[in-house]
Amino acid sequence: MGPLENDLERLYDESAQQLFVCALAITRCPALAEDAVHDAFRRLLSLKQRPEDLKVYALRSVRNAAIDIHRKGRRAAALTPTYVFDACDPRDQVGLMEFKNRVAAALLKLPDDERETIVQHLYGGLTFREIAEVRENSLNTVASWYRRGLEKLRRELEEP
């Protein structure tokens, strides 16, 4: 195994959840998000030289793979709250699961940029700077998407 392969393996071990959430924010389906991560890493393994910032390059590659999958029409049959939350936790109470359903539904109503930013930041643990680098947008734009999206979520969740 060469140095790039070692770096990619280490990156995957350290950032698998962030990579997955990056794809999940776009595909809205865990299986398709996994496909996007795998597609991106298959392409990354064929690189001739190591990019300057491998993590940002990998996140951007995963995002692009997820967009490709989404554009090709490979969509989930039904979108469920498992899009963001793990519904298999037996400790979940009915009220909490109801709230999770409302949050997941509200997230799906947001514009793509706002939803993707919120999911990547809150559930993927990416900083605004990382999101801005991956999406090739300014830090202010990412912060605006986040702020506007949270405001829309708040209004949606306050409705009876």
Here the CATH number for the domain that contains residue 117 is: 1.10.10.10
State which residues of the chain have pLDDT below 50.
77-80, 87
Same domain for 6 and 66? yes
Token couple for 125: 């643990």
Residue 49, classified by CB atoms within 10 Å of its CB into exposed (0-12), middle (13-18) or buried (19+), is exposed
> Domain range holding 140?
89-160
Token couple for 21: 């959430």
The number of domains in the chain is: 2
Distances (CA, A) of 146 to 39, 75, 107, 150, 152: 28, 25, 12, 6, 10
Same domain for 103 and 66? no
Determine the pLDDT at residue 78.
Answer: 41
Has residue 115 been placed in a domain?
yes
pTM: 0.76
